[in-house]
Amino acid sequence: MKNDVHTKRWTLRAATAAVAAAALPAFLGVVGSVPTARAAAPEFLQVPSAAMGHDITVEFQQGGAPAVYLLDGLRARDDRNGWDIETNAFDEYRGSGISVVMPVGGRSSFYADWYGSANGATYKWETFLTSELPPYLAGKGVRTTRNAVVGVSMSGSSALILAAYHPGQFAYASSLSAYLTPSSGNGPTLIKFAMNDEGGYNPEDMWGPSGGPGWQRNDPTVQAGRLAGNNTRLWVYSGNGTPSELGQNSLPGQVIEQVVLQSNIDFKNAYTAAGGHNATFNIDGSGVHSWGYWNAQLVAMKPDMQRTLGAGGGQA
């Protein structure tokens, strides 16, 4: 009887993971919000990158010495950042005392320094974001320390990892609907499926053999102790797959958020066990996997981010 129960539970978990994996790539490519026209266009910077071998486009709005880096999702485009395409983030943070930085590109990258080739391209996103971009932005009036980083879905884990390893640069980190246990359980399988679908990328070119040191190094739950020890201010969100008044009542979005949820609970438990006490966890409430929910969180965290970064904006 116990074996039968175990088998049924394992089958259910596997089936759920399979459905989520199948839904994830298609969903992330089509579901979004419809932002209104923005008040003013951002600057499009061309930032030299020796690590990547070419200039990287960065959308930028000057707003003060501290900055928030907004990272894109799995299907990041080469013309504009998803935050600009799908939300009014620039307008929402105008007057906040915080500059807005949106790197463009990074499709299926997890904003990591890849071990190998990304289908012929060089992906050294962590080096770019932490070593090459800050001195360039300093010339635009942005400080190189005590900034914020926010990521959605794919890049939510990236935001936490950047803060874990670069605490001087990032005093504030937010993960929105990210899978926060990538190195364990169904993580490697889900990531492999999604990356293969979105551009034919191989995650072993990114982090090496599944579950190995590279995966552990980039797993926020494994690295929760670093974040706790750094006393980084965290804002972590994951819905439970039930739509709220924001809508987006799609089956893929519901299923993906349900699968993502448990990894966020695991991260919270690991962070708390490590002595972490400087985080806001908005998890297990209503919400599905879509930009409308992520934008609402970006707006909600603004006063908290302003306090943490010491931003001197005139609005909260």
Domain ranges of the chain: 43-309
Which of residues 136 and 21 earns the better pLDDT score? Answer: 136
* Surface-to-core class of residue 55, CB atoms within 10 Å of its CB (0-12 exposed, 13-18 middle, 19+ buried): exposed
- Our answer to whether residue 86 is catalytic in this structure is no
Confidence of residue 292 (pLDDT cuts 50, 70, 90): confident
Instruction: Give the up-direction half-sphere exposure of residue 123: CA atoms within 13 A in the CB hemisphere.
Output: 22
Query: pTM of the entire structure?
Result: 0.88
- Our answer to whether residue 175 is catalytic in this structure is no
Q: How far apart are CA 214 and CA 210, in angstroms?
A: 8
- Our answer to whether residue 245 is catalytic in this structure is no
Q: How far apart are CA 204 and CA 121, in angstroms?
A: 15
Q: How far apart are CA 222 and CA 228, in angstroms?
A: 12
Q: Among 86, 99, 257, 263, which one carries the catalytic annotation?
A: 257
Question: Rounded to the nearest 5°, which phi and psi values hold at 276?
Answer: -65, 135
Q: Name the least confident of 172-186, 221-235, 274-288.
A: 274-288
Token pair of 66 as six digits: 């501290």
Q: Among 153, 157, 263, 290, which one carries the catalytic annotation?
A: 153
Place of tokens 């590109």: 105
| Alpha-carbon distance values, 260 to 53, 191, 192, 202, 274 (Å) | 34, 12, 16, 21, 22
Closest CA to 72 of 278, 302, 294: 294
Inter-residue contact 237 to 301 (CB < 8 Å)? no
Cα angle: 98, vertex 59, 214; to 5 degrees: 90
Q: What is the mean pLDDT of the chain?
A: 86
What is the predicted pLDDT for the residue at 37? 60
CATH number of the domain at 43-309, please? Answer: 3.40.50.1820
What is the predicted pLDDT for the residue at 289? 72
Task: Give one DSSP letter per residue of 228-254, joined into a string.
Answer: HHHT-EEEEEEE-S---TT----HHHH
